[in-house]
Amino acid sequence: MKIKEFWNIRKHSQRDAAVITVVISLIYIFILWIDLAETLTNWFAQYEEVQLDEVPFLLLLIAFGMAWFSRRRMVELNNEIHLRVSAEEKIMQLLVQNKALTRHVLKIQEAERLHLARDLHDDIGQYLLAIRLDASALNLSKKDQNLHASTTLYAKRILANAQHIQEMTRTLMRRLRPAPTSSQDCTAAISILIKEWHEQQPHIQLDINVEACSSLFTEQINITIYRFIQEALTNISKHADALNVSISLKSISNERGRLLCIEIIDDGVGFKAEETSYGMGIIGMRERIDAVNGTFIAKNNISKGVTISAQIPI
């Protein structure tokens, strides 16, 4: 029960007390007018043998008992209200702290991604390039009659393996590279992300509707949008087995203010109900949206596939 409901209960109690006071006052005036005490005394005198004249005192004691009982219950209700209000305040504080912690974790994650991408580019990438150059040199020297034929074969294998590792390194670097932090580049970066993903999934038909509204976004929202779409596309390529994907990014206005709406729909195999709550990809997407005070929804479509959407206040 919310705090507002508790205060409504208290307001209703005060109104009821006022009504009871007015009613009792009117009844008392009526009793004085009909001279009820004398009337009852004369009536009860006829039944002295059954002691009916003591009934008013019994009713008075019952009334005092009920008043005491009601008072005790009201005190307990007030105590419960205070406890619940305090509990809700603590819960709200914990939610604020949790969101702040989530934002901090996401910032650390972005910094770690940047560090890994630099290491891959500066160290592994350079050494792989050197291996490819050496392998190419060995392969070109096959005209030398003194060189054994197997050397050429080994050189070709080294060249192929180094090329494969280098391509994988580039793929990792694209996934790890920092999300755009400049509002002017956010929409363009999302378009590049989608284009690169489509090059790896050419069999999927894309329907893209991305508005150029990135000037409204903060740096944190830029990162959230970019990672949200990136995670959704990664999940589709790994698990969905989809043939059609629709991506929508637009801003709307309603009673809550201005909202950024993201919606990604595929016609794949869908997911089980528990995966919407416990899947690691879904959890990560929900945490990112929660960190910017947004709302996240993931559900199976009526026909087939999945709809993943989010609304972020901007």
Tens-place pLDDT, residues 239-285: 888 899 999 998 888 777 888 899 999 998 887 665 555 566 787 78
Q: How far is residue 44's CA from residue 271's CA, in Å, rounded to a whole number?
A: 80
The count of other CB atoms within 10 Å of the CB of residue 180 is 22
Tokens of 281: 């990809």
Residue 16 lies in a domain: no
Residues 283/290, Cβ–Cβ less than 8 Å:
no
Q: How many domains does the chain have?
A: 2
Q: How far is residue 292's CA from residue 201's CA, in Å, rounded to a whole number?
A: 31
Question: For 292, what's the count of Cα atoms within 13 Å in the CB-facing half-sphere?
Answer: 25
Which residues have C-beta within 8 Å of that of residue 152, sequence separation ≥ 6?
138, 139, 142
Residue 29 lies in a domain: no
* Model pLDDT, residue 53: 63
- Distance (Å) of CA 263 to CA 76, 180, 250, 281: 49, 20, 9, 16
Residue 24 lies in a domain: no
Residue 227 lies in a domain: yes
Last residue of a domain, one of 178, 209, 226: 178
**Number of residues that make up the chain:** 314
Residue identified by tokens 């005092």 is 64
Residue 26 lies in a domain: no
Tens of pLDDT, residue by residue over 77-128, are 888 888 888 888 888 877 877 777 777 777 777 777 776 777 666 667 667 7
Owning domain of residue 173 = 35-178
Residue 39 lies in a domain: yes
* Model pLDDT, residue 263: 94
Give the pLDDT mean for 206-217. 76
Last residue of a domain, one of 115, 150, 178: 178
Residue 27 lies in a domain: no
Last residue of a domain, one of 178, 211, 228: 178
